[in-house]
Structures are given as C-alpha cells and as structure tokens.
Structure 1
Amino acid sequence: MFQMADPDPDLAEQWRQLMSCYHGTACALERELSQRHGLGLSEFETLDLLMKAPDCRRLVHELLASTHLTQSALSRTVARLEKRGLVTRSMCANDRRSVTVTPTEEGRSVHAEALPTHRAVLSEHLGARSTRA
C-alpha cells in the first residue's frame, strides 16, 4: 500500500496537544465551577458573555455567535439559568421574533463570585502553558 509523505509531521501532534489542553482546562473549569458555585461551564460562559455586553444583555442569536454551543444546547443553558433566577428572557422590542437574555441581580452576584474561580483555573492551565511556549 502506498503512503504519501506527511508534509508537516508536527501538525497532527500540535492538534492533539491543543485538544488535550482544551479538554483538561474545560474539565477543570466544569469541576471547579460546579463544586464551588453550582454552575456548569456553559452556564458560566453564558453569564460571562452577558456581563461583557455593553448593557449586560444580548439577543439569543448574538450569544449563539459568541459561543461553541449549538442552538438547542444554548436554549437549554439559558432555560437552566432562568429556572435558577440568574437570567430573564424577554421579547426584543424591535423584532418580536428575537429574544433578549439579561442577567438578574442574583445572576450578576453569582457571576462575580464565580469569576475568580474561572480565572484561577484558566491561569493554572493556560498561564503555565504560555510561559513554556
């Protein structure tokens, strides 16, 4: 059987290292955010995106464009956050087909409490990696 020469033998290894870094970081974030704050990673990321918006609100399709989640996964995430009282959903005044998501005061508080945990895990997993590169 004929095998083609690999034009960049390190490329696949770089990909595997990237995936390993992502997986290890995501698992650590999921564990720490869940244990310390009762949030899943997707829930924290959704709150974080809302808090970064100029008026702390986003349309669902804007959240979708800024996250790795599918539309159905984002919908479930927002529903969980809403059930916990961390966000509200409302119809967009300009486009009745669009839904706006806004953090509640409790959502802002939970995000503020979880933010140092999130950043500490990122620093632990990515900070050391960036100094090795």
Structure 2
Amino acid sequence: MAAKKSERMLVDEWRGILAVHARTTCELDRELHQYGIGASDFEVLDVLVEGRAEDGGAAYRVQELASRVHLSQSALSRLIGRLEKEDLVHRGMCSEDRRGVRVVITDKGRALHTQVRPLQRAVLSRMLADRPS
C-alpha cells in the first residue's frame, strides 16, 4: 500500500509540474503576442543574449540551442527560420564543420529582447510565486 501511495504522489507531483509549465507558457504567449513573438521565440533570444556557446563564442550551434531550449531540432529549425525572417537572428555555416549551422542574435533581436525581458520576467515571477519549491 505504501508503494502505491508513493507512486501516486510521484505522479501527482509530475502532473503538477506539467500544469504549471502549461499555464506559464500560455500566459507568456499571451503577453508576448503584442511583440510578435511567443514564449519559445523569447527563450531562444534569451539564451543567445545571456550566455556563451560551448566554444566560448556568441554563436550557438543549432544542436546546442535545442538542448538549452528543450525543443526538437526540427521545431527549433522552423522557429529559427521565423526569427531570421524577422531579422532577429542570423544563421550561418559552422567554419569547423560545414554541415553544422550556427545562430547569432542580431542588433534588432537584442533590442527586442531588451524591451521584452522585463515583461517576461514579471510573468515568470507572477506565475511561479505560489509554486512550492
């Protein structure tokens, strides 16, 4: 009986995490819509602005971005294509591996990120405030 209860608690906790994620993503999408981007778009811009790629440079390989933003490589490629059409990012071939693609944020992408970041952080703060740690 104790094992079943423990398993039930584990499943309930998992479903709670999924629910918080879904509510937060929906709220982010709603708030960011006015800027022409969604939660995943912002997440890519945020990663590009925030950190350094594994090689220490400013450009990320698509595979590296996919692991950071938790999207499949194909979904991320479509998202990057949309961001590139809006001149928010630029794609280029990897110099060390011609099959690889690197992504870098543009000045326009950086400006949008700077404008939207406080809104995104406010949504996160509001949505995650009552979440048990």
TM-score if structure 1 supplies the norm length? 0.88
- Distance in 1 of aligned mates of 2:102 and 2:40: 18
Q: Select which of 34, 39, 43 maps to 2:37.
A: 39
Give unpaired runs (5+ residues) of structure 1: none
Report the aligned-residue RMSD.
1.9
Cα deviation for residue 129 of structure 1 reads: 2.1
Identity of aligned residues (%): 44
- Distance in 2 of aligned mates of 1:38 and 1:72: 21
Residues 51 and 57, structure 1, Cα contact 8 Å, conserved in 2? no
Aligned pair 1:110/2:112, yes or no? yes
Runs of 4+ in 1 over 6 A off after TM superposition: none
Give the aligned partner of residue 20 of structure 1: 19
More displaced 10-residue stretch of structure 1: 37-46 or 102-111: 37-46
Q: Deviations over 1:98-119 (max 9, x none)?
A: 1110111000000111111110
Give unpaired runs (5+ residues) of structure 2: none
- Distance in 1 of aligned mates of 2:23 and 2:32: 14
Cα deviation for residue 56 of structure 1 reads: 3.1
SS of equivalent residue, structure 1 residue 20: helix
TM-score if structure 2 supplies the norm length? 0.88
Which amino acid letter does the alignment assign opposite residue 27 of structure 1?
C
Q: Deviations over 1:59-98 (max 9, x none)?
A: 1111012122111110000000000000110111111111
Q: Deviations over 1:38-73 (max 9, x none)?
A: 111111111111112334321111101212211111
Give the aligned partner of residue 46 of structure 2: 48
Rg larger in 1 or in 2?
A: 1
